[in-house]
Structure 1
């Protein structure tokens, strides 16, 4: 069994797979007579293939048994997929360039103020939360066409929980 270390989620480290969605380092626009701050252009939503449309969902995820075993990777060939935590809880992100190449896998610890926007065709593991009933706003594609490809791994990858602190 392969064990995968978990690294902190940063924009630079995650760039080959998509975008980190966070307000850190951004300058807000004052709106609503100064009673609100607006952060623009945090992610590029890519859903236009085959006349797709934007879909906004709310996911409520459950924690997986420890140690976390990575058995399946998926990708969406027709659009990006954005996950933004709503409850402020830390969570995990697992991506790879090629699900058949164990050396291409990366695992990231996201803090509760960071989301990710998986690029179109980015291989990623389904949502991994560290606390039951974790809520996420999800922005992805709806419409015709086959927008889900799954790959079951021949060898299970286990996440190294000792490396999760970032």
Structure 2
């Protein structure tokens, strides 16, 4: 079944079933670099079934609301972190899994300064910078074998701005 999604603000609590929100909040875990730098330590659970962690750079085209979600994907062999380099917010779509199919889709809008790490095997939409193009550092599994499953919807879901009918 497809339908409309109204995005929520991305918060650590709301996103917890799908991954971690990486952001500077509260007091740092450590003060380093001659007292000039706060370290917010070990914010994401990197999880790889095989292979190794790699860092790639993505350069993505802008998306706008309303936004059509035609497919979601997941990576069974590894977690995947998206770290905006330009401060461009993202439309983040995630879903629960029921017998190998995505269900209960949710949409979030990240805020400047927020990054995400998707848990291994989490259904998610494609990278979607909101309003303007964005560049991202992506930390994910690099290795042999298939690490991508796609699910195409029979009709797209639509992420709409709040207050849209």
The verdict on a shared fold, with TM-score over 0.5 as the criterion, is: yes
Displacement after TM superposition at 1:161 (Å): 1.6
| SS at 2:34 equivalent | helix
Displacement after TM superposition at 1:44 (Å): 1.3
- Contact 1:23-1:42 within 8 A present in 2 as well: no
Which residue is 2:141 aligned to?
141
- Contact 2:80-2:119 within 8 A present in 1 as well: yes
| 1:9 equivalent in alignment to 2:10 | yes
Change (3 A) 1:100 1:45: closer
Which residue is 1:36 aligned to?
37
5+ unaligned residues in a row in structure 2: which ranges? Answer: none
- In the alignment, the residues of structure 2 paired with residue 141 and residue 21 of structure 1 have an alpha-carbon distance, to the nearest angstrom, of 18
Change (3 A) 1:128 1:76: same
| 1:126 equivalent in alignment to 2:119 | no
- In the alignment, the residues of structure 2 paired with residue 79 and residue 132 of structure 1 have an alpha-carbon distance, to the nearest angstrom, of 28
Change (3 A) 1:112 1:163: farther
Which residue is 1:19 aligned to?
20
After superposition, where does 1:86-101 map in structure 2 within 5 Å? 86-98=85-97, 99-101=101-103
Which residue is 1:151 aligned to?
151
1:20-58 per-residue CA deviation (whole Å, 9 max, x = no partner) reads 1112135242211122222211111112x13x1011011
- Contact 1:6-1:106 within 8 A present in 2 as well: yes
Which residue is 2:108 aligned to?
108
- Contact 2:31-2:39 within 8 A present in 1 as well: yes
After superposition, the CA RMSD in angstroms is: 1.8
Q: Could you tell me the TM-score, scaled by structure 2's length?
A: 0.89
